[in-house]
Structure 1
Amino acid sequence: MTKKNIENFLDPKYLEEILGSFSKATGLHIEAVNRKGETLAILGNKYRSDFCQYIRSNSKGEKRCLNSYREATIEAAKWNEPYFFRCHAGIVIWAVPIIVDNVFLGSIICGQVLLWKPDEFFLKQLKKINSNLDFQTLKEKVSSVSMSSPEQSQAAADMLFVVVNHLVKRNLHTLEEEHAYHLQRLQIKADLENRKKKNITEFTDYGTYLKNERRFLSYIRLGDKTRAESTLKNLLTDLLTKTAGDKATIKIRILELASLSSRAAVEGGADAEQVMLKLQDFNNEINSIERIEEFFFKVHKIIEEFLNGIFKLADKKHLSLVNNARKFIMENYHKPLTLKATADHLFISPSHLSRLFRLELDCTFNDYLTRVRVEKAVELMKKPEFSVEQVSKAIGFKSQSYFAEVFRKYIGVTPLVYKNSLF
């Protein structure tokens, strides 16, 4: 990756906040470098030691330091652990690699310390390697370099390795979210383009939006994830079109939609406490968001969590059985469907299926079947050509009076009153 890539990956503000604090706490010098050894940022202590500044005061010393950083960075990446080395000037430094998805980006350089006081041999080597610099000045400046025991240096390196890995995981998560936001933008654009190609009439009123919203909420109550997600996509495109991209209005509608969805999820069998906690976190998160695609991504995410919460099944076999039972009911609700017929279709006993519905959906088989039929009745009664009697028969009720009784129990009014309110 290029210098630009690593700079985009590392969040400068967060890098300074975390590694700057590490530098101040330990008194150690820290730099972020790319894989060429080039310094991107000096963190915490804003300046290199007087000794290092003097070593780098000419192009020859600068080049040697760059080569030291590059070689150390490559070695650290090779072993994927802190790499200790003595630079050409004789001080101890270590490099902690930055590796993302097996791609080597650079490293965090730390240290610039001595493990022991400069002796005669050290000074002779220092003079020999840096013959172009004033030796007396070198002696004075090297005496100001911090001392650190091998144990202290190793502990600092281990701690820095943990911190750098935390930064990598955090920034990787941020990049993944950015990628998701980008896909969301592309999805919105594609939806709008498809509407233009199909000459679909532009969404113009909230009446239509609210009808689609009610349909969407019914899918959540039924745990119909596929239809819920498909309808949500259309709802969000409608919302974008209607509001002409006004962020304030979109934010209000998104908060409403999340709140309504949470209630529908609880009605569908999700745990109320967990749903409310998720909703609270969502509301707090939304308040700090500015981009439309983030609004849409976040609401997609929480609604997916709500839907997943309807089926908290530890056993995958049970999950498959319940989902297959739901699918069978959705396809055959208009028939005189029974628990036994559904169990036979799944090749399990009626008692076992009944137990699964109670344990996993917190309702009986008949409760769920009735819920599906009522939701379908609501959809059908929006069509003027269907009478209440026709709707009753279409959804599997033999008795219109019993249908009216059940409908009132779930919706709060009789089918006739509900239908008359629509037209």
Structure 2
Amino acid sequence: MNPKQLKETLEAYYYATGINLFMIDEQGKILETCGGMPTLCTHLTPASKEGCHCTQVHLFASKQAEKIGEGYVFHCPAGLIHYTAPVIYNRVLRGALIAGPILLDEPDDMILEGIMRKYDLQEQDRESVRKYIEDIPIVMPEKVKYLSKLLFLVTLSLMDQDRFVLYERNQRMHQQSHINLSLQDMKEEEKSHSHYPYEKEKELMTKVKNGDEVGAKTILNDILGHIFFTSGGNMEVMKARTLELTSLLSRAAVEGGGALDKIFGLNYKFIGQLSKIENIEDLSYWILKVLDRFMENVFSLAHSKNAELIKTVLSYINKNYMNNITLEEVSGIVYLNPSYFSTIFKKETGVPFSTYLNKVRIQESKQLLKDINLSILDIALAVGFEDQSYYSKVFKKITGTTPKEYRDHYQF
């Protein structure tokens, strides 16, 4: 690692936040510091330092951060809050940046007395420890996670391709957490989950066609939970059911506007990878990456320089389509002039902003039309249209039929 780059990185974080920062290597040795002394143990008497476990705690926290692929908040042996972000090279932990200590509230005598007792300190150490505690920055609890995230982003700047390894680990961790929650729900309500969730499949296709990446991943993980729960641990059965999901996703991507040849080419490639998968976690992540690639091709965003901007906008629209959102409002979330944003949006998606918004609303309304207890007016208002007449007009323009005809014809 470039020593100059490392020093500049630590200084930038320290002067921006006022929080001490230091770097450790894979053995826990402190290599570089910025700010005050990195640990309380530095202020203790030699006899007290013999019981210091800072190195072990720093390494444990750094390994946890590496495992989950994001910042990790922890307490040092003295009970003071720190947070860390891992530095990896060739997929191996080579060190970490650690920030702290910080306090969540004004220090009091309880903290001081607790440290004095824990380390069996002498009275001569009291003032030194008190001064150390009084100099610790106080951070509001809600800001801690953002400071930790900022440190993680700063740490990524020190790495090259290995940053994508951490991104993958973070995705895997969040996905498995979601699937585990779904499995737990199914165990608690086993009878109600005995049938395959075909309705969720339809919702998934709608999300893919609308470019709703977040919504699609949430539903996909719910379906995976059901597949794993009902497959009795049989890996071949789980692969077969997941392969069926791949076909579903590819069809939805094509219907959403993805190029047929590209989608089918990806399908062939992914199927070739499936035979090599041997565990549930890899299978789960495999289908998640399939979804990512298919959705990139719905609006041909794979090589777009505006891909992240468009994804942000699509996510916002899919979360707020039921409200009276405007071009000005949406362009504001990506800090662009409405006219310029309109040009970029049409160039990247192939349709004007208003057309895409109406498409999302109509797709979502199709799900609501399955409920015969809802009137056409109720549905129009629920998806963001101001009146039934305009809703029906847009519905027919997009689908070729009226909402009533669609409801009557479709066999729910």
TM-score, length basis structure 2: 0.50
Which residue in the other structure is 1:280 paired with? 268
1:223 to 195, 205, 211: 211
Look up the equivalent residue of 1:312 and give its one-letter code: A
1:243-262 equivalence runs, <5 A: 243-262=231-250
Which residue in the other structure is 1:395 paired with? 383
The answer to whether 1:312 aligns with 2:302 is yes
Deviation at 1:368, TM superposition (A): 0.8
Q: 8 Å contact 1:313–1:360 — kept in the other structure?
A: no
Q: What is the rounded CA distance, in whole Å, between the counterparts of 1:253 and 1:412 in structure 2?
A: 33
Consecutive unaligned residues of structure 1, counting only runs of 5 or more, are 1-98, 104-172
The answer to whether 1:192 aligns with 2:183 is yes
Q: What is the rounded CA distance, in whole Å, between the counterparts of 1:385 and 1:302 in structure 2?
A: 37
1:101 to 88, 92, 97: 92
2:194 to 185, 197, 204: 204
1:250-399 equivalence runs, <5 A: 250-289=238-277, 291-309=279-297, 310=299, 311-312=301-302, 314-315=304-305, 318-343=306-331, 346-399=334-387
Q: 8 Å contact 1:261–1:303 — kept in the other structure?
A: yes
Deviation at 1:356, TM superposition (A): 1.1
Q: 8 Å contact 1:321–1:346 — kept in the other structure?
A: yes
Look up the equivalent residue of 2:370 and give its one-letter code: K
Deviation at 1:344, TM superposition (A): 5.3
Deviations 1:73-105 (A, max 9, x none): xxxxxxxxxxxxxxxxxxxxxxxxxx98389xx
Q: What is the rounded CA distance, in whole Å, between the counterparts of 2:401 and 2:230 in structure 1?
A: 32
Where 1:256 maps in the other structure, the secondary structure is helix
Deviation at 1:371, TM superposition (A): 1.3
Deviation at 1:227, TM superposition (A): 1.6
Q: What is the rounded CA distance, in whole Å, between the counterparts of 2:358 and 2:190 in structure 1?
A: 35
Q: What is the rounded CA distance, in whole Å, between the counterparts of 2:93 and 2:229 in structure 1?
A: 42
Deviation at 1:302, TM superposition (A): 1.2
Q: What is the rounded CA distance, in whole Å, between the counterparts of 1:272 and 1:281 in structure 2?
A: 14
Look up the equivalent residue of 1:394 and give its one-letter code: A
Deviation at 1:364, TM superposition (A): 1.4
Same amino acid, percent of matched pairs: 27
Deviation at 1:391, TM superposition (A): 0.7
Which residue in the other structure is 2:394 paired with? 406
Deviation at 1:222, TM superposition (A): 2.0
Q: What is the rounded CA distance, in whole Å, between the counterparts of 2:380 and 2:267 in structure 1?
A: 36
Which residue in the other structure is 1:49 paired with? none
Deviation at 1:373, TM superposition (A): 0.4
Structure 1 residues 349, 200: closer, same or farther in 2, change over 3 A? Answer: farther
Structure 1 residues 331, 305: closer, same or farther in 2, change over 3 A? Answer: closer
Where 2:193 maps in the other structure, the secondary structure is coil
Q: What is the rounded CA distance, in whole Å, between the counterparts of 1:270 and 1:298 in structure 2?
A: 20
Look up the equivalent residue of 1:196 and give its one-letter code: K
Q: What is the rounded CA distance, in whole Å, between the counterparts of 1:327 and 1:391 in structure 2?
A: 22
Deviation at 1:253, TM superposition (A): 2.7
Deviations 1:5-45 (A, max 9, x none): xxxxxxxxxxxxxxxxxxxxxxxxxxxxxxxxxxxxxxxxx
Deviation at 1:392, TM superposition (A): 1.6
Q: What is the rounded CA distance, in whole Å, between the counterparts of 1:196 and 1:255 in structure 2?
A: 24
Look up the equivalent residue of 1:379 and give its one-letter code: Q
Structure 1 residues 351, 385: closer, same or farther in 2, change over 3 A? Answer: same
Deviations 1:205-259 (A, max 9, x none): 23xx111011112112222222211111110111223343444543333222112
Deviation at 1:360, TM superposition (A): 1.4
Look up the equivalent residue of 2:357 and give its one-letter code: L
Where 1:241 maps in the other structure, the secondary structure is helix
Deviations 1:302-357 (A, max 9, x none): 11222344433643xx4454344334433443345443454356553333122111
Deviation at 1:363, TM superposition (A): 1.6
Q: What is the rounded CA distance, in whole Å, between the counterparts of 1:179 and 1:370 in structure 2?
A: 34
Look up the equivalent residue of 2:336 and give its one-letter code: I
Consecutive unaligned residues of structure 2, counting only runs of 5 or more, are 1-89, 95-163
Q: What is the rounded CA distance, in whole Å, between the counterparts of 1:178 and 1:331 in structure 2?
A: 26
Deviations 1:123-149 (A, max 9, x none): xxxxxxxxxxxxxxxxxxxxxxxxxxx
TM-score, length basis structure 1: 0.49
Higher Cα Rg, which structure: 1
Where 1:355 maps in the other structure, the secondary structure is helix
Deviation at 1:408, TM superposition (A): 4.0
Q: What is the rounded CA distance, in whole Å, between the counterparts of 1:400 and 1:363 in structure 2?
A: 24
Q: What is the rounded CA distance, in whole Å, between the counterparts of 2:361 and 2:170 in structure 1?
A: 40
Q: 8 Å contact 1:312–1:360 — kept in the other structure?
A: no
Aligned residues: 250
1:72-221 equivalence runs, <5 A: 101=92, 188=179, 191-196=182-187, 199=189, 201-206=191-196, 209-221=197-209
